[in-house]
Structure 1
Amino acid sequence: MRALRLVAESADRIHIELDRPAVRNAIDEVMVAELHEVCADLERHPRTLILSGASTPERGVFASGADIGVLLGRGRDEALRGYNARIFSRIAELPMPVIAAVDGYAIGGGAELAYAADIRIASDRAVFGNPEAGLGIIAAAGGTWRLPKLVGAPLARQILLAGRRLTAQEALDAHLVASVHAPDELIDAAHGIADRIATQDPLAVQLTKRVLDAPESAHPLVDDLAQAILFESDAKRARMSAFLDRSATKERS
């Protein structure tokens, strides 16, 4: 049985739903393998990715994390393979932006998946948390280093060391999410962001994402190199010429 559902697909975006509602969209090896398939497609044909979780009107769930029953049986060798860490990094490194639309619980690995997205938005019933230390493990799929960058070290330490959970409003206040919506408006909000991304030059978006993710020591060199590439692009000339034409038309009117 497949763990992902293709909700919508177009020339500029794809919407994938985590679809294991019986186990609160727990992340297992099947889901990881299918996410790798999605990434392979988006690496060949760059588009914006919207990720959401199968929810019901009564209960929202983005992903409840890794399947605890599976984790219980894993040992050192499986940990060193970093199943979730590798797929989450691949998602984070996709050419075009990734939007996580988080409705309900994003816990453990589910939270780490959301952290790997470029943009997170949430429903007003969203909850973020990393309970790994309480289960005798750590948040090893990006939580220990992505979360501090997103919310700051003091709050990240409360979440990772003390098991604190964040409500949607707290996540908004901490800038973990960009906006909060009613559950039935969440996916439309995600598509609204994808619509705005679609109006930008795709190459400029891709290079901006890569520059944003570059280590601090790489700046300003990577900025200059990216700008040099864009300054020679046909899209830059066409878009700037169109801007000047519109400005001239406004001045004459």
Structure 2
Amino acid sequence: MSREFRTLLVDYRPDRVHVQLNRPAVRNAIDQTMIDELHLVCGELERGPRILILSGTNGVFASGADIAQLRDRRAEDALKGINSGLFGRIARLPLPVIAAIDGWALGGGAELAYAADFRLASTTARLGNPETALGIIPAAGALWRLAALVGEPVAKEIILAGRILTAAEALAVHLVTEVHEQDALLEAAHALADRIAKQDPLATQLAKEVFHVPAAAHPLADNEAQARLFESEEKFARMTAFLERKKR
């Protein structure tokens, strides 16, 4: 599959899609065109599930939303949930999403990373939400995703006091799970994708789906997903192969 994009570089592979945010003149700031193009990628991944790797270009993940566009937005724009709608869609993609964070991931760029299932960082990564300094709030996920990821005290430092986390600090609070040198970051992201790709795709999809259902939906949602998998051909094939290896 091939498509021309203005703000993204997209590498399609059989089991994954690597999307690079590519607006280097503005440090990959997220504008409406990028939002629209990421929605197109989401549509493709919803129709044909694959792992998604998100990264930036030129040593930057994403410096935030495009301030030139953001400044002109009014109340009716806020109510449309332009960024939050996209990031929610990314979070709900059938297979896991990996954010490979190099350099700045601020504001909307950080919120995009929070929507991923996995966050890997380079040693130069810096993550934060400086929105209140610009007279707005981080309304595309940080106000609830970040506390779930790092706990309320650290989330409030970032959101209410403008703290910017270094890669080491992000690792210490488990906002990222790995830190690599810049030239090894994408290799590490693909290595993680390789591990995910070895799993049964349907089991991985259902595990992700049930992981995120409300607490009240457990254990019924778990049992229903397991019932579906207990009838899958892949389950029988994988378990048979396991038992055959054990005999050797």
The interval holding the TM-score normalised by the smaller chain is over 0.9
Give the Cα separation in 1 of the matches to 2:169 and 2:212: 25
Q: Which residue of 2 aligns with 1:153?
A: 152
Q: Which residue of 1 aligns with 2:119?
A: 120
What are the within-5 Å matches in structure 2 for residues 25-104 of structure 1? 25-55=28-58, 60-104=59-103
Deviation at 1:221, TM superposition (A): 1.1
Deviation at 1:10, TM superposition (A): 1.3
- DSSP-derived class of the 2:61 partner: strand
Give the Cα separation in 2 of the matches to 1:131 and 1:22: 21
Q: Which residue of 1 aligns with 2:12?
A: 9
The runs of at least 4 aligned residues of structure 1 exceeding 4 Å deviation read none
Q: Which residue of 2 aligns with 1:143?
A: 142
- DSSP-derived class of the 2:55 partner: strand
Give the Cα separation in 1 of the matches to 2:143 and 2:77: 19
Q: Which runs of 5+ in 1 are unaligned?
A: none
Q: Which residue of 2 aligns with 1:233?
A: 232
TM-score for both structures, normalised by structure 1: 0.95
Cα offsets for 1:3-42 (capped at 9, x unmatched)? 1111x22110010100001100000000000000000000
Give the Cα separation in 2 of the matches to 1:221 and 1:163: 41
Aligned to 1:21, which of 14, 19, 24?
24
**Percent identity at matched positions?**
61
Q: Which runs of 5+ in 2 are unaligned?
A: none
**Paired letter, 1:73:** D
**Paired letter, 1:236:** K
What are the within-5 Å matches in structure 2 for residues 193-204 of structure 1? 193-204=192-203
| Equivalent pairs, count | 244
Deviation at 1:144, TM superposition (A): 0.2
Deviation at 1:216, TM superposition (A): 1.2
